[in-house]
A = this chain, B = another copy of it.
Amino acid sequence: MSGDTFGRLFTLTTFGESHGPALGGVVSGCPAGIPITEAAIQQELDRRRPGAAQAGAASTARKEPDRVELLSGVFEGRTTGTAIGFCIRNTDQRSADYSAIKDVFRPGHGDLSYHAKYGARDYRGGGRSSGRETACRVAGGAIAQAFLATLGIMVTAYTVELGGIRAAVPGSLAALGNVWERPFFAPEDAVITAWQGRVAEIKARGDTLGGVVEVRAEPMPQGLGEPVFDKLDARIAAALMSIGAVKAVEIGAGCEAARMTGSQHNDPILPLPHRQEASNHAGGVLAGISDGRPLVARAWVKPIASHHQPQATIGTDGQATSITVGGRHDISAIPRIVPVCQAMAALALADFCCLQTRQAGAMGI
């Protein structure tokens, strides 16, 4: 109820802020018998690590090993069906970096809204609003992906736009190749040089950039999603919008759909085995329920709030003042946010897969 838990059947509950002893979480409702290793979770965590090769110049030099430790729920390499606890220790807590912002609200951050909500705030590194919280999403998402893998479902995220420069996006996971080996987790090679140039230019000005992440899941089972309020696309939207920097979410054709006519937008339904040859403006969701086409969603990410130019703001005393944010910060949430988007989509899908087994067809207690 306080928003520390995501999901209904396959759930992730997280705790932790950037400067406490540790972050961690509990995955509850994961079926028994799923193969899980710390190494597989660690691989996902390493992808959101600052300084990873893929992040290139867009990320801070700050080092956080983000070493995950599994604490329960896995026995002899497989899930037992009971709660999976995990922990990630905080090791790099330079509190001194943050003392300057104790009494001033940084624009674009949660400083003012947290202060208003709780009457006080842990000002060290943003406390619970820190992007560091997303490490637990990635760990939980890795467990969700292990479960989805047993159902043959694969979820992948990649950057499709950075600083206003759009990449060419292949139309299938097969055509994407391994996005994790490309800088910025790009979906193609050609755009990388342009993105590197844009980052260098903005970095020199002490400013920051936004971008767009696309998530694809395929092959998709039919029937995931619920009729009214818990439509598959509604949960995907909530999943992606719950990531701090995301300001818009699209499904399939997204905003473009609103400018098409019905005859342009409707996807023909082709008989098998030609089903996947038709357009997929719906993004794999019809009336909130998956139709077996690939799920396609996009998250629009705002620029990092911590730029190095002076900003007008107020102090905790309510008086006008100015702040210039120092410290080590990423130029863009891209690409570190990419595995986070993938994790959230995987968590949402894992939850629906658990839910789906109770429907008529699957009911066989």
Contacts and interface: CB of A to CB of B under 8 A. Distances in A.
Given A221-B365, A268-B313, A287-B110, A231 B227 contact: no
Interface in A323-365: 353-365
Given A108-B286, A233-B241, 9 more contacts: A17-B72, A31-B363, A82-B227, A110-B289, A116-B223, A233-B247, A255-B300, A266-B311, A355-B358
Interface residues of A, number: 158
14 contacts: A4-B227, A21-B70, A26-B26, A33-B118, A33-B360, A112-B269, A207-B261, A207-B263, A248-B254, A258-B301, A262-B305, A270-B314, A357-B364, A364-B364
Interface string A12-54: 0111110011111110110111000000000000000000000
A249 interface: yes
Interface string A117-136: 11111100011110001000
A113 B286 contact: yes
A286 B313 CA distance: 14
A188 to B, nearest CB: 19
A145 interface: no
A232 to B, nearest CB: 9
A360 to B, nearest CB: 4
A307 B263 contact: yes
Contact of A72 (B15, B80, B319): B15
Interface in A287-301: 287-292, 300-301
Interface stretch (A56-64, A83-91, A170-178): A83-91
B251 A247 contact: yes
A227 B118 CA distance: 11
Nearest to A323: B269
Contacts of A202: 261
A163 B264 CA distance: 13
A178 B15 CA distance: 35
Interface string A216-254: 000001110111111101111111111010011111111
A282 interface: yes
A127 B303 contact: no
A241 B249 contact: yes
Contacts of A249: 237, 241, 248-249
A113 B235 CA distance: 17
B29 A312 contact: no
A93 interface: no
A272 interface: yes
Interface string A163-192: 110000000000000000000000000000
B210 A360 contact: no
A257 interface: yes
A242 B229 contact: yes
Nearest to A26: B15
A269 B234 contact: no
A211 interface: yes
Nearest to A246: B233
